[in-house]
Amino acid sequence: MAEDPNALFETWLAEARAAEPNDPEAMALATADAEGRPSVRMVLLKGHDERGFAFYTNAQSRKGEEIAANARAALLFHWKSLRRQVRIEGAVAPVTEAEADSYFATRSRDARIGAWASDQSRPLESRALFEARYEELVAKFEGKEVGRPPYWRGYRVAAERIEFWTDRPHRLHERRLFTLGADGGWIESLLYP
């Protein structure tokens, strides 16, 4: 194997942070419910190491419920300015409570209150109702610490497949696939574009 895929990802992410004009940490997160119906949305990468790729959300949201029913997901980073993408597939597990608390504490106070105010993915009668709920919580937390709601947590996708795609002229793209072997080591191969 020429490279460790986690180290290669960190290199590509650093290059994206330097070149991508908006949200280089943005990734498409694909989940599926218990019946296999897929769903995809954009989330932000909030951590990466050899354990996987972490993001945070409301566990009662559609994605949270789908992860509870089917703990597998796919991620896609697309860095248009670099003409690259990275695809990741694997099992999903919650991060530790301590990790979730630690990340939540880094969010702005307004974003922390917003996490309390939102019944993410649930029907909303009106925008005014949501904004009034937010303002009520601003008053409730006046002068108090805004701790993490019990339903707000982090998840980590433990990569089993990581594909690095690079655009090349004439659709002769380069596709490098790293697959996790039974021994825990990575197996590298190439794919036809």
Identify the active-site residue in 83, 171, 175, 176.
171
The yes-or-no answer on residue 171 being catalytic is: yes
pLDDT at residue 2 is higher than 90 = no
* Diameter over CA atoms, the chain: 61
Mean pLDDT to the nearest integer, 12-27: 95
Contact 57, 119 (CB under 8 A): no
User: pLDDT tens-digit profile of 173-187?
Assistant: 999 999 999 999 999
User: pLDDT tens-digit profile of 116-157?
Assistant: 999 988 899 999 999 999 999 999 999 999 999 999 999 999
Q: How many CB atoms lie within 10 A of CB 125?
A: 7
pLDDT, averaged across the chain = 95
Predicted TM-score (pTM) of the model is: 0.93
pLDDT-derived band at 3 (thresholds 50, 70, 90) equals: confident
pLDDT at residue 1 is higher than 80 = no
Assigned superfamily of 5-108+150-191: Electron Transport, Fmn-binding Protein; Chain A (2.30.110.10)
Q: Show the tokens assigned to 188.
A: 């590298």
Q: How many CB atoms lie within 10 A of CB 127?
A: 8
Backbone angles phi, psi at 114, to 5 degrees: -60, -35
**Domains in the chain: boundaries:** 5-108+150-191
User: pLDDT tens-digit profile of 66-77?
Assistant: 999 999 999 999
Per-residue model confidence (pLDDT) at position 73: 98
